């Protein structure tokens, strides 16, 4: 069982002991937040722009390697064995540099991952703060996120995503 399912079951059991009439549940859909919350859209656009720049640089590396290999093949018959080895080593060095670049940018803990965290962490903190504010002000005991897919059924009347989006957009316009 996934941890979220266990937590949900535990909360529902606690609710049954406390009294179901006093236990108020709501849910949000974080997938909708990512598409409907303008700040997330802006962050995604910036991230996509950054990734596009890195991909263009990677493409440049690939082209240089392909050009070097092609040139070596074309001149292979004219080059001495020493010159061939020298060019092959240059190609290998370029391939190694390219692999290091890919790892530094797109690897685990790389620039892309750090940039995504830099752009989204403040948004997630703000979203969590607003969720807590809504939950406390409107008496919710439990707020779930249905985007994870661990909920088989939930009444749409419990959806507070629109309230959350309204509060988030309202706080931006202040």
> How far apart (Å, rounded) are the C-alpha atoms in residues 108 and 19?
46
pLDDT at 14 over 60: no
Whether residue 129 is contained in a domain is answered as: yes
- Domain count for the chain, please give it: 1
> How far apart (Å, rounded) are the C-alpha atoms in residues 150 and 9?
11
The residue ranking higher by pLDDT, 85 or 4, is 85
Whether residue 2 is contained in a domain is answered as: no
Q: How confident is the model at residue 11 (pLDDT cuts 50, 70, 90)?
A: low
Whether residue 110 is contained in a domain is answered as: yes
Whether residue 151 is contained in a domain is answered as: yes
Whether residue 7 is contained in a domain is answered as: no
Whether residue 37 is contained in a domain is answered as: yes
Among residues 134, 121, 124, the alpha carbon closest in space to that of 161 is found at 134
Whether residue 8 is contained in a domain is answered as: no
Note down the domain range covering 163.
24-173
pLDDT, residue 83, reads: 94
Whether residue 19 is contained in a domain is answered as: no
CB-based contacts of 160, cutoff 8 Å, min separation 6: 26, 27, 28, 134, 138, 140, 143
């Amino acid at each position: 069982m996934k941890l979220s399912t266990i937590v949900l079951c535990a909360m529902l059991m606690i609710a049954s002991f406390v009294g179901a009439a006093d236990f108020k549940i709501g849910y949000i859909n974080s997938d909708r937040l990512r598409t409907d919350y303008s700040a997330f859209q802006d962050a995604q656009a910036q991230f996509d722009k950054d990734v596009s720049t890195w991909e263009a640089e990677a493409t440049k590396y690939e082209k240089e390697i392909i050009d070097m290999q092609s040139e070596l093949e074309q001149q292979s018959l004219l080059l001495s064995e020493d010159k061939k080895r020298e060019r092959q080593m240059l190609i290998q060095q370029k391939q190694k540099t390219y692999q290091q670049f890919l790892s530094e940018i797109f690897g685990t803990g790389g620039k892309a991952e750090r940039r995504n965290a830099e752009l989204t962490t403040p948004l997630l903190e703000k979203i969590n703060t607003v969720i807590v504010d809504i939950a406390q002000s409107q008496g919710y005991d439990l707020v779930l996120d249905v985007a994870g897919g661990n909920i088989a059924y939930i009444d749409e009347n419990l959806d507070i995503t629109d309230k959350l989006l309204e509060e988030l957009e309202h706080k931006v316009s202040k």
